[in-house]
């Protein structure tokens, strides 16, 4: 498909959305499988079992050490789901737990040097795979693909926010709905 399709025709829009949904479904499936493959390959390199979920937590900590609640929000899981995973990463020597200087009751989770090395190994694996993916592409095509993926991710995120906001508005009583109408 070239150019910008006219999506004003409802049938055409449904077809385009269906095609995009199928492509996104395939992309997500490949990304999930790819994430598991990266974790398995990283496990071989570091000599310890590492799950895709554990790799996601390490990625989250790569920006900065965090409190467990902050890390849970960053990677999109419930804090209660995090405790066991952090304990396992700590036992493997990938993360370290220290007291929060601002609040001694709270803990800060950070990467150890071994955790940083594991992330570096995973990054090299991803670099190698993605280099194969774009082999033969121009720099412009690769950057355009990245830009389109970002646009899709932002659009999907905005779409879900709108979806849930509209559902929330439907559950409000008439007085709350009337208060939202501009005067």
Give the range among 7-11, 18-22, 87-91, 105-109 with minimum mean pLDDT: 7-11
**pLDDT grade for 80, boundaries at 50, 70 and 90:** confident
Q: Above 70 in pLDDT, residue 54?
A: yes
Q: Residues 89-129: pLDDT tens digits?
A: 999 999 999 988 888 788 999 999 999 999 999 999 999 99
Alpha helices, H only, 47-112? 52-61, 68-75, 79-91
CA distance 93 to 156: 37
Q: Where are the beta strands (DSSP E) in the chain?
A: 95-99, 107-111
What is the DSSP secondary structure assignment for residue 78, as one 8-state letter?
-
The C-alpha atoms of residue 149 and residue 82 are separated, in whole angstroms, by: 29
CA distances from 166 to 34, 122, 172 (A): 34, 40, 10
Average pLDDT over the chain reads 87
Those residues whose C-beta lies under 8 Å from the C-beta of residue 114, and which sit 6 or more positions away, are 46, 92, 93, 94
Q: Are 110 and 98 in contact (CB under 8 A)?
A: yes
Q: What is the Cα–Cα distance from 32 to 36, expressed in whole angstroms?
A: 6
Q: Thinking of the domain 10-133, which architecture would CATH place it in?
A: Orthogonal Bundle (1.10)
pLDDT at residue 70 in the model: 92
Q: Are 100 and 108 in contact (CB under 8 A)?
A: yes
In this model, does residue 2 exceed pLDDT 70? no
Mean pLDDT along residues 32-53: 92
| C-alpha dihedral sign at 164, 167, 173, 174 | positive
Question: 1 falls in which pLDDT band (50, 70, 90)?
Answer: very low
pLDDT number for residue 71 = 94
Minimum mean pLDDT range among 41-45, 76-80, 90-94: 76-80
Question: So what's the pLDDT on residue 21?
Answer: 92
Q: Cβ of 61: how many Cβ atoms within 10 Å?
A: 24
Question: Looking at residues 58-86, what average pLDDT do you find?
Answer: 91
pLDDT digits (tens, 9 = 90+) for 136-173: 999 999 999 999 999 999 999 899 888 888 887 666 65
Residue 165 pLDDT: 86
Domain spans of the chain, in order of start = 10-133, 138-183
């Amino acid at each position: 498909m070239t150019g910008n399709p006219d999506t004003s025709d409802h049938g055409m829009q449904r077809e385009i959305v269906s095609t995009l949904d199928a492509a996104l479904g395939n992309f997500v499936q490949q990304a999930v499988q790819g994430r598991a493959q990266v974790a398995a390959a990283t496990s071989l390199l570091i000599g310890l079992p590492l799950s895709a979920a554990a790799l996601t937590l390490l990625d989250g900590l790569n920006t900065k050490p965090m409190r467990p609640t902050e890390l849970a929000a960053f990677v999109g899981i419930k804090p209660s789901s995090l405790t066991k995973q952090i304990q396992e990463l700590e036992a493997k020597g990938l993360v370290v737990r220290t007291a929060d200087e601002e609040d001694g009751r709270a803990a800060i989770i950070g990467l150890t040097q071994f955790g940083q090395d594991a992330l570096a190994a995973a990054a090299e694996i991803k670099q190698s795979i993605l280099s194969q993916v774009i082999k033969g592409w121009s720099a412009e095509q690769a950057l355009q693909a990245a830009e389109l993926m970002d646009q899709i991710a932002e659009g999907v995120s905005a779409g879900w926010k709108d979806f849930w906001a509209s559902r929330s508005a439907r559950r409000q009583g008439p007085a709350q709905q009337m208060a939202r109408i501009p005067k």
